[in-house]
Structures are given as structure tokens and as C-alpha cells.
Chain A
Amino acid sequence: MDLGQLLAIVIGAIFVSNFVLMRFLGLCPFVGVSKDSDSALGMGMAVIFVMTMASLVTWFVYNYVLVPLEITYLRTIAFILVIATLVQFVEMVIEKTSPALHKSLGIYLPLITTNCAVLGVAVVNVDSFMVTDLPRNASFIYTVVHGLSAGIGFTLALILMAAIRERLDLVDIPKSMRGIAITFIVAGLMAIAFQGFSGLKIG
């Protein structure tokens, strides 16, 4: 484990292989919750939280349940189970302990239950850090950091999109292109722009 590698994971998850714009995961909330930047930020925070928690929990499930039982090919189903439970559980805890936080974050949590970006981060974690011969502690730290940065990358894309859409509201767009149509085109252009990061070499 070295810091250069860690930095490469962070930059990689936020920019080079951004979950929304490069891996094309989590597109539903990307289009659905990007109408204004306040809710985009709320959704982003919820995703960061859930992705980090999901990375952490799936690491334990994979290494201490799936590997010993030699049923790693069931990881997708197992991870869905884990993530859905986790999100439900977290929502309950937040609602009870902090109603204020639940108001700002809680309404987005059910949306994340079946968000493919969260499942994606868990699967990518397995492929990059668990099936390799990394030492245990390094694998664990990389996994959690990757989950966190993937969430930040998602939030970044969501906020950029919300900012663009807020400005698009004031622009004279042909009637047939208004709303979702122009949003898809903008999403495509943003993805092309993010392709520029793929030449980045770190570590």
C-alpha cells in the first residue's frame, strides 16, 4: 500500500473512470434528480455515504462469507441483498436519531436502494482489489477509499449536470428539445468531455 496508489484510485474513480460519465452507471438518478442543485447535492451526499458503507460491508461479506464458502460467483445476488438491507437499515437509524438529516438526505435513500452505481462499485471493488494478491489491510483501505471517491465522482457529475440544467431553463431551446431531450444531449457531451481524462497517468 502506498500513497501514490491511493491517489491514483481517488483520481481514477472521480475523473478517469467516473461512474456516471465513463462507466454509464446510475443514469436514472443522474437524469432524475438533477433539476436543481440543492436536491442534486442532497442526493450526492446520500450516494457518497451509501457507496462508502456498501464498499465496507461488501468487503467483509466477500472475504469472510463468499470466499470461505467458495461461492464467489454469487457475489452479485449477495451484494444486492447486502446493499438493500444496508440502505433500509441506515434510513431507519437516521429517521430515529436525526430527523433533520433525514429530511435533507432521507428522501433520497430509497432511490439508492436499487441504484446500479452502488452495486457497480461493489463489483468493481472485487475485481480490482479482492481477487488480486493484495495484502488484506491494503485491499480493505483501497476498497473503502474507492467507494468514497466513486461517490464523490457521482456527486460531481450530478452537480455539474444540475448547474447546466438550471442555466438551460433560461435558454431559448426549440420546443421539441426541451426537458429530457436536451438533458440527454448534454449528458453525452459531458461524457465526451470526460473522455479527456482517460489519457491521465498517475502512479
Chain B
Amino acid sequence: MQSVVAKSMIALTGMAAIFGAVLAVASRIFVVHRDPRVEQVLELLPGANCGACGFPGCQGLAEAMVQGEAAPNACPPGGAETASAIADALGGDAGDVVPKVAVVHCKGGLSNSVQRLEYEGIEDCRAALLVGGNPKACIFGCLGFGTCKTVCPFDAVELDEEGIVHIDRVKCTGCGNCVIACPVNIMELVSEDMRVHIKCSSHDKGAAAKKVCTVACIACRLCVKKCPTDAIHMDDNLAVIDYSKCTNCGVCAAVCPTDAIVDEIPARPKAVIGGKCEGAGKCKEVCPVKAIEGEPGERHEIIREKCIGCGLCMEACPTKAVNMVGALGHQRAKGGALESE
């Protein structure tokens, strides 16, 4: 009896000792040197693992930051505070964080777009799309079942009774969950200071697009021609804004015949020509909406009803006779001066 106990004890203890030794040796041989800074950065990040940065979770971003592959400001929900804390920890410059917000490129609600079928089922865009395709006659448009609202962790998405999606720009952190979830890919993350958007995603030809939605981009190219900074181009029958060039002047929104382009700036100033005007006529040439009249050599006049406050004439005037007055002054959508909310 005693020998059985002794034998089993010795055998098991022996095995445990051997395995322990093997593991101990292995941990020395296969040691992986981890950078302690990764842990440090990870603690500073929000830890939501939302994926807005494009890396696999906060851990992935922390590793990339430590290796210098990602800038300290690469975390959009973290904002400037997180960026500067990480920059301090890593000993670098935080850089500017321009917060991003989601933008919906569709404004076709129930009353201004044609419904192809009536969907009755689970209130979810992905499910609806699986069953019968887009219930709207425009296959590119917003389905309006609010999957973006469901996935939004910050309660920043609103659906109105028309079925149009609105983003609460204050609550939106730019995490991009809605952009990923939207099955028709009409959402985009855009820098917060961009306030003029093309609210249409239809690649249909002009006539076809107009037939199914009164606020569709009909590919008339007016905005492309009028844009003073060449920021708009046509992509397969759809006007697209290049946000890196856009100056928020709002000319495109003013000329768009179908109101597919939305100018979110609540009030714009009007141009006023002062006594310094020598009638060079530069303002008349650049005005995209023909709101200036006057003979060469004489003082020009602004037609207030037509002026959209883009400020191009002010920049063009050689004698600096043009001023922007009213609304928010002549601040042209630069930075936080337009925070109207």
C-alpha cells in the first residue's frame, strides 16, 4: 500500500517538475521583448476598440504609435486631450486633431423620392436589403430603417419622420461605426469644419435620377463649373466634393438646381462695395451668381438678393473695396468661428 502512494507521488511530482523545468527553459528561450510604452499608450487611449483609427483595436493602434507608424493624434474619438497625453508619453508633437463627423450623402425622404416597394419586416437596413433590395426606387439611396442609429454608441444619429438620417454634430465622435454598418455606403467621415455637402449618392444618369428623387444629383455639372477652387468633380454621374480643396464658399449649393448640395452654414454675410471701388470689374468676373453689376470705371453695385456671401469678390478686388458684412461677419468658415449649435 505504502509503495503505491509513494510511487504515484513520485511519478506525478517528477512529471510536474520536468514540465515546470521545460516551461521555465522555454520562457527564457522564447522570450518576446515587449515595449513597455505600448502598455502606457494603451492606458491613455479610450479603450473602446471602435476601430475608427483603422487599426485592429486600441492595442493595435498603441503598437503602431510606439513604432511611429501612427501619429499620436490618430485616435479620432480620443480627441486633442488624448493626443497630447500620448505625445507627452512618447516625447513628440501632438499635431492638430481635426475632429471628424459622419455625413450622410442622401436627403431623399418619403415625400421627395419614389418608393419601389413597401417593406414590412425587421426594422434594419441590412435585413431589408437582403429581402427585396432597396425599397426606394433609387438603389443608391438611404433605406431609412436606421441601422446607423442602432450601431451608434453615442446616440448621435436621428431619423426624422421622412426617414432621413440626421447626424448630431455635437454628439458624433467620428468613430465611424455607422459608416461601416451602412449597407449602401452613403455615409462618410468628414472633417468637422467642412459644412457644404453633396447629399446624394446616385450614380444614375440625370434623367433617371430625377425621375425617382426630386433632390437627386442630376449630373448637370453646374457645381463643377462654378466651384472657384476646382474642388468638385464628376464620378460616374455624381458630383463629389474633394474636401481637401473645399473652402465652404457655398457656391455649389447656391447653383445646384435640385438642392442636392446642402450648405449647412446657417447664415452667410453679404458683400458690400465701398467708396474705394475704381470699377476694375474683377469682382463682376469672379462672381459665380452674377450678383454684381456696374460699368467699367464706375463704382459697382451688389444685388443683395443674389449675393450668396461666398466672398470671392472680396478676394479678387484689387483696391480692397469689397467687404463682407452681416451674419457672422466676414469669417469664411474658418475653424470654430462658425459653431452655430
Contact = CB atoms under 8 A, between A and B. Distances in A.
A88 interface: yes
A175 interface: no
Contacts of A92: 23, 26-27, 30
Given A81-B19, A93-B30, A170 B127 contact: yes
A89 B124 contact: no
A14 B31 CA distance: 37
Main secondary structure of the interface of B (DSSP, over half): helix
B182 to A, nearest CB: 15
Interface in A34-72: 61, 65-66, 69-71
Contacts of A97: 30
B8 A71 contact: yes
B126 interface: yes
A88 B22 CA distance: 10
Contacts of B26: 89, 92-93
A31 interface: no
Nearest to B56: A103
Nearest to B8: A71
Size range of the interface on A?
A: 20 to 34
Interface stretch (B9-17, B193-201, B250-258, B276-284): B9-17
A198 interface: no
Contacts, number: 51
B30 A81 contact: no
A59 to B, nearest CB: 15
A74 B11 contact: yes
Contacts of A77: 12
B97 to A, nearest CB: 28
Given A65-B11, A78-B12, A96-B32, A85 B122 contact: no
A71 B7 contact: yes
B11 A81 contact: no
Given A92-B27, A170-B127, A78 B122 contact: no
B32 A95 contact: yes
B3 to A, nearest CB: 10
Given A81-B15, A89-B23, A95 B30 contact: yes
A65 B7 CA distance: 12
A74 B127 contact: no
Nearest to A172: B122
B12 A85 contact: no
A49 B289 CA distance: 70
Contacts of A65: 11, 15
Nearest to A171: B122
Given A82-B19, A92-B26, A71 B126 contact: no
A171 B102 CA distance: 27
B12 to A, nearest CB: 6
Given A81-B15, A96-B29, 9 more contacts: A61-B15, A71-B7, A71-B11, A78-B15, A81-B12, A82-B19, A92-B27, A95-B30, A96-B31
27 contacts: A61-B15, A65-B15, A69-B7, A71-B4, A71-B11, A74-B8, A74-B11, A74-B12, A77-B12, A78-B15, A81-B12, A81-B15, A81-B16, A81-B19, A85-B19, A85-B23, A88-B23, A89-B23, A92-B23, A92-B27, A92-B30, A93-B30, A95-B30, A96-B30, A96-B31, A170-B122, A172-B122
Interface of B: 4, 7-8, 11-12, 15-16, 19, 22-23, 26-27, 29-32, 122, 124, 126-127, 130
